[in-house]
Chain A
Amino acid sequence: MLKVSDIREFIRLVDETNIHELHIETGELKVLIKKAEAQHAVVNGARAHTATGGSPTPIAMPEAVHAASAKPVEERAEPLSEDSASAVVKSPMVGTFYRAPAPTSPSYVEVGAKVTEKTVVCIVEAMKLMNEIEADVRGEIVEVLAENGQLVEYGQPLFRVRLA
């Protein structure tokens, strides 16, 4: 029997590779994990960063997994906002969200800050790994969607960015 943690691990595997979809069948349980299209400009903060030039390609998050459903998942991941001119920076991992490098330091970004693809906007910490998250898009921070020191989930929205 698959556990939720197993499914989370499968999502990570799909997200970290070039595989677009993964079917798993075990007993009566069928799971389909499928990458969403990039058209929604939903950005995963830790992924779309290896391009060495040109504009970055926003990478979409995997779709939600319906672990209890025997039917393949049809829905696409929805963008957080209907405003197509904005993007959401999401957490690439479960961890603690920190807006500054240290408690006494100023935040990496505030609302109104102009960011480029390479601007570090926060840290997400897991197992004492300080993961610097980049905006991956060019624009202006219009909303901070998580609280400093909060535990954030994989894929949880952290910032909304109005695209330049």
Chain B
Amino acid sequence: MPVYSVSRRRAIALLALTSILLITLDIQGNSVVRGLRGVFSTIFEPVQSSARVMTRPLENSWRGITNYGELEAENQRLQDQLDQQEGAFIAALATARDAQELLALNGIDNLADISSVTAQVIGGTPSNYSQTIEINQGSDRGLRVGMPVVNAAGLVGRITWVDNDRSLVLLANDSLYAIPVQVVNQPNIVPATTTTTTTSTTTTTSTTTTTSSTTTTLPVVPPVSAVVDPNGITTTTQSMTTTTVDLSTVDFGALAPTTTGVIVTIAPGTTAGGPTTTLNLDDLPIAETGIFRGRGIDNAPVVEFIDQNSRFGEVQVGALVFTSGGSQSLAPRGIVVGRVIKIVERTGTSGAVLEVRLTAKLTSLNFVRVLLYQPVATGAP
């Protein structure tokens, strides 16, 4: 039953050559291929939407059957984590506010200034190899290819394709994902029991749904000195000038995650005028730059091309990884990516490779936030 009038072997060879040609064109970023994807998407979208509606009950039934026990255990685990993190959140607020003030003084963009669009995840990856999700917001809401996607935990990925009302997100663990990052060693935290002359903060967290209450004593950052020049130059001195953050002025309602039934009480510090956090510039964390790259679903993402500068010293396991920003980076500075879990030393000049555990759990995403950010090199946001 011939389909082509040409000979069979020629037809098969033609199909193979066409495939190879398409691969070559796509890898080179040919605009015709991009256009082809756009046209196909327009045709396919109604079919896919109908299928989504029809198969949703089946999907829900399947999830109900297979994931019930797992969900129950996860819910319990998450509740425990939430209780623990209430205390850590208060400490983070002080640091975040401090950082924002410093960034503003130095004229550096920070995440709080960037508009964002919240989107729901409506589809997973249809392949066993590429890591993508589909979200329900598109170019109608200002989304563009390349914009970073985050959730409450940190970096999720970037927009890789946009339609009017939906988009495709390439997840950070996909092997095609890469972004410049900064690796910051954790500061040396002094245990809370250590007494300092300037700081003493006690946070009490109690949950109305239970009869017990938990008291968390926050770790205290060692005492320290810093002077910030209003002209944008930061200098280090040995003087006793201090940067002070007063928690009593922080608007917790605006910054806290939405929780129900939880009361957070901040006890006044022992120092007059409220609790005080001070930073010692000598103890500031080590910062190095490199390129973060996903390596597929099975392998931990890595940070490569670490700038091994003797001034900065060695990166340690547990170091935090943030996006570094820059005029050409697709993400602004300061998005949390993850933590270093392993350091693989390499011989020669190639430097170490850092394996990273992402803070965002990419296997169970429901809602994400798209930052309406585009690097300076490609146009204003």
Is B a genuine binding partner of A?
no
Interface on A for B, CB 8 Å cutoff? none
